[in-house]
Structure 1
């Protein structure tokens, strides 16, 4: 029976190739996108889920409850040690300190090879590898990193540094300061982990590398890079530990600090998804992607139903003959379901071929870490049959019931009409569904694009064009003086400033402030930016009142922004000449600068200060004349390399750094743009098929109308008016839904666009033009047909 169904189905599809091709193409695109989204969502859900004891692994995070609560995935340096010593809740506890973009050199190599590691290094306590499962291929897990000046590296890094030579016992040097002996080799990191560091160093050397981070008595400052992981004992509830942390604060803090400093456990499963603690993606985003996949499958299935019910009229006589020869309704239904299943199966095969070919492109364009060998994923092997059954049922059940329900007498007499196939009203509803989904995606694309353009074009309060940021490995006075002199001589260099950060940066330092004669510190922290006397002119910051900083190597004076002056409750002029203690250092406020955005538009403008502190300077900002950009960059490189021969030269444009604030938003935009385009393509395939069917059904009507004097425009409107009405109905449904969804997305930005009428008008215009172009081609072909030939056709 099944063999007969398949043979008949193949014959039917061969006779109706246009119908089959349209459905296969639509379903292929829908399935390919759905599988891609499934793999992407599954990847994010699998991040760090491979650790054997994942349900007992937690990170100690910090909530600093000031005027506004500040969240940090890290904490003060002693937190991990104190938890280990004060409580018995943990089976293991370990601290880890990550430092990105570090220089690694091989001192014993013939040419002193140097490597700039973008993911940096991690100083880790030995128990870190008893909590998280990063297995060793060489070395003893129980002894690695217990001795000072020892290191672990991954297989990939070992290959990069030493080739085929055994790396065990070899020496690597960090930032031209500390040597470490390789004591073990880690298996290469899996793609689905947020821990990207491939070099681990003994935590005992942290105090030599960074005295602040290695200070076990420093309870009043914290850093995101310094984190503590714990493995709770079986049966210990995180709520119990969180309750105990109240006593923890009372023990190590006094006065108002007891209320301000709070610690709690964050589950390992929450780390990747929690934006408060630097999560990579939100679960809401994954739900949104999953919903888009559902939309695309619905769109492709709607195409199938539309075309299948329209095609049913052409198969009426076939059904009549089959029923006359004894076929039962159930047999006819399953015959059509087999045809549907065959089309869906072909579409799945083609979708996989498309994905296999396009996966490298998808990974690079969308910057998504979808696994390249997802074909061997057992989750996908479960998902695909379920998807196959779902699409087959959605696409084939209703048309199958319609076909099987034809009355044989009416079918043989050719009296089956549209009302017997559900009528055009059914197809109206399905087309409205397609248009609604397309317009939802188009409006979403337009809103995201407008917001990103807003971030690009809106004045941030400083100059960001043609400013190059260079690393400053050492900031001693003589080096700074020499570099300033050498750079200033170069043609094309307009300004040079030595600083800790650009005005806007993803990371920064915040400290308490005690203002003037007040005895208590303020209930907020102040962002601290180190910059020399050229900082304002290089970045084009506007000084509202007072004067600029005088040249100095130490903190003597402060510039503050308008926001800080307002928070202090003092006028811009009234704050000039007053003293302030920031980061335990007293200085005089000498000027107020106009507010500028110190982070992305996702957050507000923080109270901040700018001061001279040369021992903190780690960057050089060079303002270049745009007309001489290439020549100037070529001239800068040798000067820098001569000054720092033991370091790796690199540079970055400030506007590129700012663009990275919105990497996740760019990624979402590219995904939504692509899926919106595919939804439109699928919809157009369905529209073209429907119009083709309509022109066949209305051939005689068109001929009569033309004989009676109808113009080509009248004929085109005959076909187009119905779809224009449906599009407008879809818009009325999609617009309020899209407005609500996109307003929710825009709440992630403090500074954002308003969704105006222009976006909705543009969305409906785009859909209208695409629909009319699709309908217009086939309609024009019908309108230009010779009426004599049309009247002979039926």
Structure 2
């Protein structure tokens, strides 16, 4: 019997090829979109799942006087790990992590540059479950000058040799010989903590025993292992007393709050946490959920298409139902047959969807910068999920058509009287409204996402970032800065060179400042940027008052330029005379200097954040971590080649790396670009599927009214009259859909834009434009069938009357 149901279902699908193609295509596109988003969501939610212990990351909320707003940061202080463990029995273990980028490692004459190495406590591998291939997990990092390298690093340095016990040399601030005590498997891509080597923290603090007293210096990440079933909220309530106990000397504890974030939430739920350097491919969970919801909407639209087209063709199946019932078929048997048709169609669509996904994955990977795969045969659970979802889609999509069609009364349908009244039309029209409300909603969201992205990319940040090449300086090349600058400026291809300790567009460091004016001493915190005297000139940052840095060191030793935001805080009465900058506690020398200028406010961070108080500090002796070179834009290729030649001449032991500053800002807004692109693609898919369904319904409406059209043509109706008659009902539903979509879209856009400190206005004309576009798309879709019906020869349609 089941075999006959499927055979009959297949014949019906084959008989109505056009509608089957529309249904399969719509379902396949919707399912493909849903599968891609599901793969993306599964990848995002897989981050750090291979760690079994109850690990939390310690985070700070910093709220110093002088800051425009408090900020959450991923950083913590060196003494916090051991003191927290001693204070609270809920904390079973801790480990601290500090990072070093572009580490130079040598094995004899063989030199490699590692993307990132970590300084960690000996407890690192006791807490984290990274796979150790060689070495003792408990003791591998206990001794000073111990190092663990990954399998890939071992192959680069030693080839196929056994590396345990071998010596490698790390060239950092100091030259340190390290013994390889272990080899780790390569770090998985779904780990927020990425590294090529681990160096024992005892290597560092054996050289500086005072590190344990470094309260106030935030320069590392601290991870805590909590006892099972720990009440995290209760533990966090104890932290203020803890801070007061250890930081009471300078009363600085009031400026901090501590909170914990589960390790498995760090990747996706730390979007509002800054200075989050150990968070590979960080992507906010709200975006992931948005993608998933939109993908479900697209799939719902595809399912609506099936229900609409199935019920629209009900008159053609009426006699079949009547005959089957008259010879003894039960209603459940008829329902099973119609659901079987839906299931067959769904599985055909699934096969097509999988093909579409495989075809589109390279593009998706390029867009998302991830290595997403669809391992159907390597992951039985994924295959079962997709197959089970397809079965559910087939059953749910076929339930209403099955219930409706199987309810026909055989006496009436065999007499030619089929109820096609308001109830069926009302539901079908409601589904059309839902389809286009969803499509209009997504169109509006897409327009605002693109506008906000363009606004951030094109808004004047207050400085010039065009034709600026930025080059990172390591522990060797920074010493050659003066020589590099001199050699570069000797060529007409270079119009300016400057140095700084940070790059614009990054989350810049903050430091405490003491302000001495005519009033009492004030202690504040502001964003710090250490620069050379040509910084404001190269970046064309205008001054609101005062002068630029002098080329020569002044008699007082230091000069400061502050931004307008800090000036409003400090210089309200224009009585301020000088500023003192302190780093940590008991710095050991007087860093006071005059405020010589006030720079106009500029967006040194992304437009997600308000402009904070800031001071620029002329202190070349400390060295720069970044060099900016302004080049002749008309000869960019020649200029870059010249910069490389100067670099290789002066810094042969350091790799030459560069990027253009505007490319760096593209990376800053990459997540926003990914969101706007993916939402736009999903919105386009929703519109395509809606149009497929509308095309099918318009085709059916034209066929059902073919005799009416013939009569009207005989009585003198024009083609325009007939097209208008067949189109107006559908356009009415699009207008109703707009009235539903508008308030939902406005609320969603309003809440979304709240995350941006600088944002576009919510313009009314965009809402109207989305409706006009939707109506035009619907009109074009409908008109194809309407014109075809209007142009048909009425003699053929009326021949049987």
Do they superpose with TM above 0.5?
yes
Alpha-carbon displacement from aligned partner over 1:71-107 (angstroms, at most 9, x marks no partner): 221211221132234444332211111233x133434
In structure 2, the residue corresponding to 1:621 is in which secondary structure?
strand
Matched, 1:703 2:697: no
In structure 1, the residue corresponding to 2:565 is in which secondary structure?
helix
CA displacement at 1:729 relative to structure 2: 0.8
Matched, 1:217 2:213: yes
- Cross-structure match for 1:201: 199
CA displacement at 1:601 relative to structure 2: 0.8
* Cα distance change, pair 786–642 in 1 and its aligned pair in 2 (3 A): same
Q: 1:737 aligns with which of 725, 739, 744?
A: 744
In structure 1, the residue corresponding to 2:722 is in which secondary structure?
helix
User: Does the Cα contact within 8 Å between 1:116 and 1:648 map onto a contact in 2?
Assistant: no
Pairwise CA RMSD of aligned residues?
A: 2.5
Matched, 1:71 2:83: no
User: Does the Cα contact within 8 Å between 2:695 and 2:782 map onto a contact in 1?
Assistant: yes
Matched, 1:20 2:20: yes
- Cross-structure match for 2:183: 185
In structure 2, the residue corresponding to 1:755 is in which secondary structure?
coil
Moved more, 199-208 or 10-19: 199-208
In structure 2, the residue corresponding to 1:622 is in which secondary structure?
strand
User: Does the Cα contact within 8 Å between 1:151 and 1:180 map onto a contact in 2?
Assistant: yes
User: Does the Cα contact within 8 Å between 2:85 and 2:91 map onto a contact in 1?
Assistant: yes
**Match runs of 1:47-446 below 5 Å:** 47-53=47-53, 56-67=54-65, 68-100=69-101, 102-109=102-109, 112-117=110-115, 120-175=116-171, 177-207=175-205, 215-223=211-219, 226-234=220-228, 236-254=230-248, 255-272=250-267, 273-277=269-273, 278=276, 280-368=282-370, 370-373=372-375, 376-377=378-379, 379-381=381-383, 383-419=385-421, 422-446=423-447
In structure 2, the residue corresponding to 1:418 is in which secondary structure?
coil
In structure 1, the residue corresponding to 2:464 is in which secondary structure?
coil
Q: 2:674 aligns with which of 658, 667, 675?
A: 667
Moved more, 552-561 or 721-730: 552-561
- Cross-structure match for 2:783: 776
Moved more, 598-607 or 611-620: 611-620
**Match runs of 1:333-732 below 5 Å:** 333-368=335-370, 370-373=372-375, 376-377=378-379, 379-381=381-383, 383-419=385-421, 422-473=423-474, 479-516=480-517, 519-522=520-523, 524-552=524-552, 556-570=558-572, 574-575=575-576, 577-583=577-583, 585-614=591-620, 615-732=622-739
* Matches of 2:137 and 2:724, distance apart in 1: 77
* Matches of 1:633 and 1:266, distance apart in 2: 43
User: Does the Cα contact within 8 Å between 2:480 and 2:651 map onto a contact in 1?
Assistant: no
Q: 2:764 aligns with which of 757, 767, 790?
A: 757
* Cα distance change, pair 617–509 in 1 and its aligned pair in 2 (3 A): farther
CA displacement at 1:5 relative to structure 2: 0.9
In structure 1, the residue corresponding to 2:638 is in which secondary structure?
helix
Moved more, 687-696 or 243-252: 243-252
* Cα distance change, pair 202–474 in 1 and its aligned pair in 2 (3 A): closer
CA displacement at 1:749 relative to structure 2: 0.2
In structure 2, the residue corresponding to 1:182 is in which secondary structure?
strand
* Cα distance change, pair 128–103 in 1 and its aligned pair in 2 (3 A): closer
User: Does the Cα contact within 8 Å between 1:513 and 1:526 map onto a contact in 2?
Assistant: no
CA displacement at 1:659 relative to structure 2: 1.8
* Cα distance change, pair 480–198 in 1 and its aligned pair in 2 (3 A): closer
CA displacement at 1:477 relative to structure 2: 9.2
* Cα distance change, pair 711–370 in 1 and its aligned pair in 2 (3 A): same
In structure 1, the residue corresponding to 2:297 is in which secondary structure?
helix
User: Does the Cα contact within 8 Å between 1:487 and 1:493 map onto a contact in 2?
Assistant: yes
* Matches of 2:544 and 2:662, distance apart in 1: 25
CA displacement at 1:646 relative to structure 2: 0.5
* Matches of 1:478 and 1:672, distance apart in 2: 47
User: Does the Cα contact within 8 Å between 1:241 and 1:265 map onto a contact in 2?
Assistant: no
CA displacement at 1:525 relative to structure 2: 1.3
User: Does the Cα contact within 8 Å between 1:148 and 1:204 map onto a contact in 2?
Assistant: yes
* Matches of 1:301 and 1:503, distance apart in 2: 48
User: Does the Cα contact within 8 Å between 1:299 and 1:679 map onto a contact in 2?
Assistant: yes
* Cα distance change, pair 519–475 in 1 and its aligned pair in 2 (3 A): farther
* Cα distance change, pair 152–478 in 1 and its aligned pair in 2 (3 A): closer
Structure 1 unmatched ranges of 5 or more: none
Moved more, 669-678 or 496-505: 496-505
* Matches of 1:725 and 1:276, distance apart in 2: 44
* Matches of 1:503 and 1:354, distance apart in 2: 41
CA displacement at 1:236 relative to structure 2: 4.3
User: Does the Cα contact within 8 Å between 1:189 and 1:196 map onto a contact in 2?
Assistant: yes
* Matches of 1:476 and 1:389, distance apart in 2: 62
User: Does the Cα contact within 8 Å between 1:514 and 1:521 map onto a contact in 2?
Assistant: yes
In structure 2, the residue corresponding to 1:631 is in which secondary structure?
helix
* Matches of 1:569 and 1:528, distance apart in 2: 18
What TM-score, normalized to structure 2?
A: 0.92
Alpha-carbon displacement from aligned partner over 1:570-589 (angstroms, at most 9, x marks no partner): 25x654x4344353621110
Moved more, 738-747 or 238-247: 238-247
User: Does the Cα contact within 8 Å between 1:114 and 1:648 map onto a contact in 2?
Assistant: no
* Matches of 2:370 and 2:720, distance apart in 1: 48
CA displacement at 1:449 relative to structure 2: 0.3
User: Does the Cα contact within 8 Å between 2:478 and 2:625 map onto a contact in 1?
Assistant: no
Structure 2 unmatched ranges of 5 or more: none
* Matches of 2:230 and 2:426, distance apart in 1: 61
Alpha-carbon displacement from aligned partner over 1:491-537 (angstroms, at most 9, x marks no partner): 22111112123443234343333333555543x41111111111011
* Matches of 1:145 and 1:664, distance apart in 2: 36
CA displacement at 1:256 relative to structure 2: 3.0
